[in-house]
Structure 1
């Protein structure tokens, strides 16, 4: 048995205390504890401790340290259980301690994957151009259970998606006059799908907000792309072969057969 001989406040942390012990022969530093442990365990000068009690106090203090560290980590933003678990594992502490801390945080409502998922969805809707499929992927990566995801993802309603897609279409409404209308429309659809929106909402939004096709501008785009193709292929081809290669190049660019034939007649027939 040893006896607490002194309790002093640490210089760098006023909420932590150094516990000095005396074994009857000399005084020595024993361990340190947080203020909460000091109060809860009624530690005081003259109190006798055996090794089992000292080990218990140190275990409780380690758990409290990890709990405080977790609170600090959670203070910046909400975290998923997986995010916190990954963070605490890096601290190289026993998994039992990590589990105890996480259980306490759940009981206190400070660690809740459903609340986290709801908050993340609402934040992404307000601050990003992400669609529900990308948000779902993000939640999966953060370790949120798929049942929770399926429960909360409908918060991103069709109407909200439709409104978001309309705004994205408006931002890209100035089509490049050097590319075909169809090619640019395909790229716009692909971009929206890559952002995580479904084909249904994309098609409905495009039906009401896609830029109108300008036939004259479309032909100028054919001329631009056609002249590039002519410059490329006329070095090694001529006649039917040249026309075939130019036509194929313009088809790949998604121009209509009518405009391609017009270009061939005006620019290639006499090559």
Structure 2
């Protein structure tokens, strides 16, 4: 092969990963690999021609550029899609949601602070979130155990004619604070309770005319006791309702 032909072939062979070998009059020494070397080469070298030979530096640069690209894309994520957090790790979005839940519950009926706490915990909100929301509702008087107790007393007296003990049981069932219960009941007048019991007894006595006097007295007393009136109030109300001037019995 002439020198001119060698110069034409050299660039082509370099592109295919081979280093041009200068012409020499002496034939290059041919090395015959051993059987072990051949087996090792076959197991490590993929089949087919290798057209591009990347150096170690090029491969390293390519590997390092990929994580950097992902990190840059993450940093470009819109701020609106990332929820801000407070020191406790709770997202502000969760506080917005718990406020919506509590306000919806209060729109349906009045609730005590304990009722609201149990309700929110039952909706699987975190304890810290619930504490903050309860404080917020109490600070704006949306939760007020005393006001709720006073409202319930007026409603239960008007609609069901309940006495003091029945009112106390109902307020406790609603998990109202004990101090609020005692404060609300303290304003009840004993004379007013007797008047209510007598009014209920007189109305009920008219439905007992078919009974004898002893049975009517027992049933009327039991009825008033179930309404939560004390023994002294029941005795006076029954005596007045079943007096000779009242309904006649067998």
For normalisation by structure 2, the TM-score amounts to 0.61
Choose the corresponding residue for 1:149, options 154, 173, 181: 181
1:86 aligned to 2:134? no
2:239 partner SS? helix
1:149, distance to aligned residue in structure 2 (A): 1.4
**Take 2:210 and 2:229, find their aligned partners in 1: how far apart are those partners?**
27
**Take 2:157 and 2:227, find their aligned partners in 1: how far apart are those partners?**
12
1:174, distance to aligned residue in structure 2 (A): 2.6
Partner of 1:54: 84
1:210 aligned to 2:242? yes
Task: Verify the 8 A CA contact 2:112 2:174 in the aligned structure 1.
Answer: yes
Choose the corresponding residue for 2:201, options 144, 169, 187: 169
Distance 1:55 1:138, change over 3 A: same
Name which structure has the greater RCO, CA cutoff 8 Å, separation 6+.
2
1:166, distance to aligned residue in structure 2 (A): 2.1
Looking at secondary structure, tell me which structure has more strand per residue.
1
1:62, distance to aligned residue in structure 2 (A): 0.6
Task: Verify the 8 A CA contact 1:121 1:155 in the aligned structure 2.
Answer: no
Structure index of larger Rg: 2
Partner of 1:181: 213
1:197 aligned to 2:229? yes
**Take 1:95 and 1:184, find their aligned partners in 2: how far apart are those partners?**
54
1:79 partner SS? coil
Distance 1:83 1:171, change over 3 A: same
Equivalent residues in 2 for 1:102-251 (5 A)?
A: 102-174=134-206, 176=208, 179-212=211-244, 218=250
Aligned CA-pair RMSD: 2.9
Task: Verify the 8 A CA contact 2:149 2:171 in the aligned structure 1.
Answer: yes
Gaps of 5+ in 1: 1-21, 33-48, 219-271
1:23, distance to aligned residue in structure 2 (A): 7.0
Task: Verify the 8 A CA contact 1:79 1:111 in the aligned structure 2.
Answer: yes
For normalisation by structure 1, the TM-score amounts to 0.57
